[in-house]
Amino acid sequence: MKEAPKKSLTAVSGVAVRRAGSVGELSAVAGRGGGQQAGTDGRGFRCESLTRFIGDVSTQNHAEGALCVWESPTAALTLCDAALQRGTVCQHNFIKMRNASAALNCTELDDLLQMYYLPTMYSLEFCLGFLGNLLVILGYVFCLKEWKSINVYLFNLAVSDLIFLCTLPRLANSYATRRKETSPFFCITNRYILHVNLYSSILFMVLVSVDRLLLLQNPYRQNVLLRRGSAIVVSALTWVVVNAQIVPLIVFIIQDLKNNNWTQCHDFGSLSVSDGEDHLAYSLVLTSTGYVLPLLALFLASWRITHTLKAQEGSFPNRAADFSRPLCLVAATAAMFFALYTPYHVMRNVYISSRLSEDKMPEEQKACITSIYIITRPIAFAHSVVNPIFYFLIGDQFRELLLARVRALYHRHSQQTQSLERQSTEPSLI
């Protein structure tokens, strides 16, 4: 009886592909071994890009075929594609291997984003936003003597942005050095300040837009909401509302810290809570009340300002440019928050949903969703850099007073320098 030929089996650790000659299947299996040969199966199928030899396999009647293992999924995917072109079917477990390869790429991207993208973005936001907001606060405190309602809102907004920006250096350092936040106090404080600022900013911008609308309708400030005292009360109520919105988040953060022995600090979307559906429900409610409704209020204020300007167009033809400034301001504010906030809130809810889906969603999709979610986070917090620009565009003499103050300080410094130079050049009398 003729002995069945033995074919060499070449492999590397990781991914294995077997072609069963009797049924023409291709499937992913596990394999180990060593050596340095390459071979073919009983039907002339060559194992390429192989680096380690496992052993010989008997291929009687091609029933067992040849077992080939690749170091990376790429070579095995090439083999599967070639088999598909010849009409060979890739089994489901090989498809899983293909998905695992894509998931691995997105997982590597997640690590790169957290190590390089997040620290870079947070550092830039701190450097640019800190100086702008600090300048605004100092300008309000030392230059503006008569405060109006809009100045109260903008001052609160600047303080909120400045406090938030002060938390970014520690956050950027933790991502850059890959050292997770282990202090429960700093974890809770950082997440609290971050989200309070996120939702207070858009609310204070809504108040600024409403203030501009009321000023157009009441040029002599007859409306009670245009008074400084009323603005202080409204600002205090705004802080109360925002803090009430964030209280459930603090509860979730504490629960997540307990689940991780108080040693790991996660972002909003990555919290590990006992009831994930409650986590998703809270995120959706916060998105609706903290972002969607204020954004609709901004668009409504923009529409009302447009309607008011058209009604007053004939009464003040010489001041059309001055009256159109509030419309441009409110429209730009709405566009800014829509562009910065929408990607973050959409991806945050999608990310939380993907974590709840367990095996219902392929791993490569989950990994890619995580990457996109990471990208949107610094974009949402970039509003703290853009907000100071609106302070100078709004007017109400703030820009003029601040520039006048800077010119006065520069002029005084120049005079002192010239005086010291003259004293140094005068001959001394002995």
Percent of the chain's residues with pLDDT above 70: 64
Mean pLDDT for all residues in the chain: 75
Question: Residue range 32-52: average pLDDT?
Answer: 37
377 burial (CB, 10 Å; 0-12 / 13-18 / 19+) is buried
Residue 25 confidence class, pLDDT cut points 50, 70, 90: very low
Question: pTM value?
Answer: 0.70
Average pLDDT over residues 50-79: 39
Verify that 53 and 108 share a domain, yes or no: no
78 plus 39 within the same structural domain:
yes
CA triplet 413, 419, 424: central angle to 5 degrees? 130
DSSP 178-236: T-----HHHHHHHHHHHHHHHHHHHHHHHHHHHHHHHHHH-TT--SGGGSHHHHHHHHH
The answer on 138 and 80 residing in a single domain is no
Q: Do 61 and 113 sit in the same domain of this protein?
A: no
The secondary element (H helix, E strand) that includes residue 26 is strand 25-29
What's 213's domain CATH number? Answer: 1.20.1070.10
Q: Is the pLDDT of residue 152 over 90?
A: yes
State residue 53 phi and psi, 5-degree precision. Answer: -95, 130
Is residue 268 predicted with pLDDT exceeding 60? yes
Percent share of the chain, pLDDT over 90: 38
Predicted pLDDT of residue 136: 87
Quick check: 79 pLDDT over 90?
Answer: no
pLDDT at 13 over 50: no
Residues 21 and 45: their CA atoms lie apart, in Å, by 10
With 60 as the cut, is the pLDDT of residue 150 above it? yes
What's the average model confidence in pLDDT over 301-313? 82
Whether the pLDDT of residue 319 is over 50: the answer is yes
At 80, which amino acid appears?
A: C
Do 167 and 62 share a structural domain?
A: no
φ and ψ at 336, to 5 degrees?
-65, -50
What average pLDDT does this structure show over 202-227?
89
Residues in contact with 96: Cβ distance below 8 Å, sequence separation at least 6, in sequence order: 28
195 and 125 in one domain? yes
pLDDT tens by residue, 123-136: 999 999 999 899 88
- Residues 134 and 86 occupy one common structural domain: no
User: Does some domain include residue 223?
Assistant: yes
Contacts by 286-292, CB closer than 8 A, 24 or more apart: 286/199, 286/245, 286/249, 287/345, 287/348, 287/349, 289/245, 290/198, 290/199, 290/202, 290/242, 290/245, 291/199, 291/202, 291/337, 291/341, 291/345
Instruction: Check if the beta carbon of residue 9 is closer than 8 Å to that of residue 53.
Output: yes
Domain boundary among 55, 90, 125: 90
Of the three residues 65, 90, 115, the one that is the final residue of a domain is 90
Residues 70 and 177 in one domain: no
* Same-domain check for residues 62 and 138: no
| Same domain? 86 vs 162 | no
- On the question of pLDDT at 37 being above 80, the answer is no
Number of domains within the chain? 2
* Residue 47 included in any domain: yes
Report yes or no on 55 lying in a domain: yes
Task: Give tens-digit pLDDT for 192-206.
Answer: 999 999 999 999 999
DSSP state of 33: -
Q: What is the mean pLDDT of residues 103-107?
A: 58
User: Looking at the domain assignment, is residue 423 inside a domain?
Assistant: no
Whether residue 254 is contained in a domain is answered as yes
Alpha-carbon gap, residue 105 to 370, rounded angstroms: 12
Shared-domain flag, residues 130 and 261: yes
pLDDT higher than 90, residue 235: yes
For residue 425, tell me if it sits in a domain: no
Answer yes or no: are the C-beta atoms of 51 and 70 closer than 8 Å: no
Residue 317 located in a structural domain: yes
What pLDDT band is residue 180 in, cutting at 50, 70 and 90?
Answer: confident
Single-letter residue type at 399: R
Lowest mean pLDDT among 37-41, 202-206, 286-290, 416-420: 37-41
Instruction: Give the residue with greater pLDDT, 396 vs 165.
Output: 165
- Alpha-carbon dihedral angle through residues 413, 418, 424, 427, given to the nearest 10 degrees: -150
The encoded tokens of residue 267 equal 């972002």
Give the residue from 70, 90, 110 where a domain finishes.
90
- Indicate if 318 and 174 belong to the same structural domain: yes
* Domain range for 280: 102-396
Q: Tell me if 310 is assigned to some domain.
A: yes
Task: Output 77 or 305, whichever has higher pLDDT.
Answer: 305
- Compute the average pLDDT of residues 67-77: 43
Helix (H) or strand (E) holding 17: strand 15-20
Q: How far is CA 68 from the centre of its chain?
A: 43
pLDDT of residue 219: 81
Residue corresponding to tokens 């702008």: 132
Model confidence at 117, in pLDDT bands (50, 70, 90)?
very high
